[in-house]
Amino acid sequence: MTILVTGGAGYIGSHTVLHLLDKGEDVVVLDSLEKGHAGALQDVPFYQGELRDEPLLDEVFTKHSIDAVVHFAAHSLVGESVEQPLYYYENNVLGSHALISKMVEHHVKHIVFSSTAATYGEPEQIPIVESLPTAPTNPYGETKLAIEKMLRWCEPAYGLKSVSLRYFNAAGADPKGRIGEDHLPESHLIPIVLQVALGQRQQVQIFGDDYDTEDGSCIRDYIHVMDLADAHYLALKHLKQTGSSEVYNLGIGQGFSVKEVIEVCRHVTEQEIPAVVAPRRTGDPATLIASPEKAKAQLGWEPRYTDLSEIVAHAWGWHSNHPNGYEKDK
Ligand code: UFG
């Protein structure tokens, strides 16, 4: 199979490219490199550009016999999306519209779409099953939900089949240390805590300790990026075997509080990691835990890394060996 991966130089995209190559698939990458890193690219055909660059997409779909698309390319900062909603709708929704239109034009029938737990907003129940109502609390989640819905309508109209994967909290790095996580600015908990362990930050702020949780800090479901990558591979197989269009949650089904995550990081890094309690971050739900049962039953997916220490150890392997990330790009 030849698979076009948009956003293949980003965090989850680049790990998925590695995994697809390990599985013997042919991969073509399209990435603007606005957020992604040249250093995360593998030795595959690469096109630098935007999804809305129609001649570029025509070139990609004409030069390569693309069987399926795995679509990551998007802006994904919740806070930024609240400040600049139009920018997020433009980049995420219009970008996806352009990509999907070109897929239809070039008769490419399968897409795996990178969605998010942010589509649920404040969930009515935990663990979160896919049938719960979607009610995003920020423009980022809204744009992802809008794309899911756009894809749903494209199946009856154009025969375009899709799998939307709603990620919970992606974490960790390639266990072999080839690539890892590098965001600028960094806003995710585990990399921030590891930056404290590296002495790059003085302390980590715990955003709120008065939530309705056992220790008062927010609970999240941390899923290894390689397990996410494997779910994309299985979703592609599902579509190829004439599976139906579906939405799946991807998490391990277990939650860890911010305080627990910091404690695990202290243990793994053997560093003190000072932490202070800070005000709540706007829009953070108290608890997000996935029910991954549907993906397990229908895709045959089984997360391999269910021990948070191991997930953090892989992240630490990357961060301690690459304290400045893909510094050559910067
Ligand atoms: N947190 C801190 N201190 C920090 C950073 C984060 O206490 O310095 C807390 C947050 O408040 C949250 C938890 O750590 O409770 C995890 O925060 P992250 O920013 O790492 O991840 P989020 O859960 O906010 O975001 C993730 C994805 C988003 C997605 C969202 C869905 O990264 O893309 O889940 O709710 F939109």
Q: Say which residue the tokens 């030849």 belong to.
A: 2
Ligand 1 in contact with 188 (CB < 6 A)?
yes
**Per-residue pLDDT in tens (0 to 9) along the chain, 330 residues:** 999 999 999 999 999 999 999 999 999 999 999 999 999 999 999 999 999 999 999 999 999 999 999 999 999 999 999 999 999 999 999 999 999 999 999 999 999 999 999 999 999 999 999 999 999 999 999 999 999 999 999 999 999 999 999 999 999 999 999 999 999 999 999 999 999 999 999 999 999 999 999 999 999 999 999 999 999 999 999 999 988 999 999 999 999 999 999 999 999 999 999 999 999 998 899 999 999 999 999 999 999 999 999 999 999 999 999 999 997 544
- Written as one string, the DSSP assignment of 165-212 is EEE-EEE---TTSS-----SS---HHHHHHHHHTTSSS-EEEE-S-SS
Query: What secondary structure letter does DSSP report for 97?
Result: H
Instruction: Pick the atom of ligand 1 nearest to 140's CA.
Output: 36
Q: 300: how many CB neighbours lie within 10 A of its CB? A: 10
CA distance 137 to 194: 28
Instruction: Pick the atom of ligand 1 nearest to 76's CA.
Output: 33
Q: What is the pLDDT of residue 329?
A: 46
Instruction: Pick the atom of ligand 1 nearest to 188's CA.
Output: 20
Q: What is the pLDDT of residue 330?
A: 47
77 Cα–ligand 1 center, Å: 10
Contact 1, 240 (CB under 8 A): yes
Q: What is the pLDDT of residue 328?
A: 53
Ligand 1 in contact with 46 (CB < 6 A)?
no
Write out 239-301 in H/E/C secondary structure: HHCCCCCEEEEECCCCCEEHHHHHHHHHHHHCCCCCEEEECCCCCCCCECCECCHHHHHHHCC
pTM of this prediction?
0.97
178 Cα–ligand 1 center, Å: 25
189 Cα–ligand 1 center, Å: 6
In sequence order, the 6+-apart residues with CB closer than 8 A to the CB of 299 are 231, 234, 235, 237, 238, 248
Mutate to test the pocket of ligand 1, among 201, 217, 281 (most ligand atoms within 8 A of CB): 281
Nearest Cα to 263, choosing from 297, 215, 226, 303? 215
Ligand 1 in contact with 281 (CB < 6 A)?
yes
Q: What is the pLDDT of residue 86?
A: 98
Mutate to test the pocket of ligand 1, among 77, 78, 147 (most ligand atoms within 8 A of CB): 78
Mutate to test the pocket of ligand 1, among 81, 205, 258 (most ligand atoms within 8 A of CB): 258
220 Cα–ligand 1 center, Å: 8
- Helices 189-197 & 258-269, crossing angle to 10 degrees? 40
CA distance 308 to 269: 13
Ligand 1 in contact with 116 (CB < 6 A)?
yes
Instruction: Pick the atom of ligand 1 nearest to 190's CA.
Output: 20
User: Which residue has the CA at smallest separation from atom 11 of ligand 1?
Assistant: 207
Show which residues are catalytic. Answer: 140
Contact 309, 20 (CB under 8 A): no
